[in-house]
Amino acid sequence: MKKTLISAAVLAVASVSSAFSGSHADKVVVEFGYPYPHLFDVTYEAMMPSFKEKHPNIEIKFRATYESYEDGTNTILREATSGNLPDVTMQGLNRQAILVEKGIAKSLEPYIAKESNFEKDGYHQAMLNLSKFDGNVHGLPFSISLPVGYYNMDILKEGGINSLPTNWDEVIQACKVMKSNGIKNPIFWGWNITGNWFMQAMLWSQDKAIVDGNTINLDSKEATLALKTMNRIFRECEMQNLSWKEALASFAAGEIGMMYWSTSALGTVERTKGEFALKTGPFPGIPGVNNGKPIGLPAGGNAAMMTSTSDDPKVREAAWAWLKFITSGEGAAEVAKTTGYMPPNKAANEIILADFYKANPNKQTAVDQLPLLRDWLAYPGENGLAITQVIYDGMERLATGEATDVAELQKEIAEEAGDLMPR
């Protein structure tokens, strides 16, 4: 974890409200775990002064960060077994269900019921539904992302490319132009992003869910087209198979012409990039499908969930105070300012950030794609994470060139993932 956040974790204090009016010696400690420090360290640092001012008697103890959403879920499952759960955890939108099913994530309904102006505070129903299970809200969405394109306009314009590609054929053609201009790695396409997100993006682009109930759709014609399109991007663009951290650093250094990734990284890219013109654009579509425009795209992001096992009502109330603050209009606004995520809080988007997107058009790109928003789907049953890994491994074999027969690869992953699905 970054030294800055460790310092913030040591110094950060807050209090729940007038209910905690004791001395500073009576601080209530709330333990908190979250993923992706390279994205969110700066966000929580920005939030802490206001939280400290409003709630001086709660200390937020930041735990070691999660490497990814999968790591976050596995960590919570282990901590539930060992009896060492944090009070609040950030989990990927597609990883909430398993924590609810196992009784680890607590229903937030009792806390919401006590709030007099909860909807007016920006928690409108559409976003609450992202974390609703069996009619009860178990999480408050913290950040929403969609896949977008990042473009080094200096590199593109050197090759005479003045308009952004709108479909993958145009992307591949742009790659060839850049290669002819001496760009060694013209593209990074984020196959290795968490939760098979780009695989789902390619399927949702064709209006196809990757899973329906207990049926996984990896043997569908849409999956065939998705895998063939990926293979073309990897092979015809001669894409180097970088880790996502290497790719973000390489793009920021001005070495990659086009990068396809989550809008979540925009803040990091803007803070670290070299002296080149950066522009974001909509996620391209598959040629021949819907005039080359995506029909849908999966909503990425995460939600704050309460996992506290404390018997002390002050700790649980303090956990609710922290959870509510970071997802409130004020807290959520910091998400947009420091990252490329979109705040799911209506007050943040419509009031606090009314002029923000006008002044930050690169962050407007994802907002413009909101009509395409579809569910980021989790695989059901005990083997959900194992299925994620099967698909990840298959995509990696395509990216590295180890798999040369797309039809054979598709058959293998469809059968292996299918065998792991609940019956």
- Region 386-390: what's the mean pLDDT? 96
CATH number of the domain at 23, please.
Answer: 3.40.190.10
Residues 332 and 213 in one domain: no
Output the pTM of the full model: 0.81
Residues 288 and 231 in one domain: yes
Residue 120 has pLDDT above 80, yes or no: no
Q: What is the pLDDT of residue 333?
A: 87
Confidence of residue 173 (pLDDT cuts 50, 70, 90): very high
Per residue in 260-305, pLDDT (tens digit) is 999 989 988 999 999 999 999 999 999 999 999 999 999 888 999 9
Residues 205 and 138 in one domain: no
Pairing mode, strands 211-212 and 139-145: unpaired
Q: Which of 302-316, 351-365, 380-394 is predicted with the least confidence, judged by mean pLDDT?
A: 351-365
Q: Which of 113-127, 262-276, 285-299, 400-414 is predicted with the least confidence, judged by mean pLDDT?
A: 113-127
Nearest CA-CA partner of 374 in 284, 262, 294, 285: 294
Per residue in 234-248, pLDDT (tens digit) is 999 999 999 999 999
Provide the 8-state DSSP code for 238. Answer: T
| 117 vs 8, residue with greater confidence | 117
Residues 305 and 293 in one domain: no
Range of the domain at 21: 3-145+301-372
**Residue 254 falls in which region: left (phi positive, over 0), alpha (psi -120 to 50) or beta:** left
**Cβ pair 373, 294 in contact under 8 A:** no
| 228 vs 117, residue with greater confidence | 228
**Cβ pair 89, 40 in contact under 8 A:** no
Per residue in 186-211, pLDDT (tens digit) is 999 999 998 999 999 999 999 999 99
Residues 222 and 203 in one domain: yes
Residue 118 has pLDDT above 80, yes or no: no
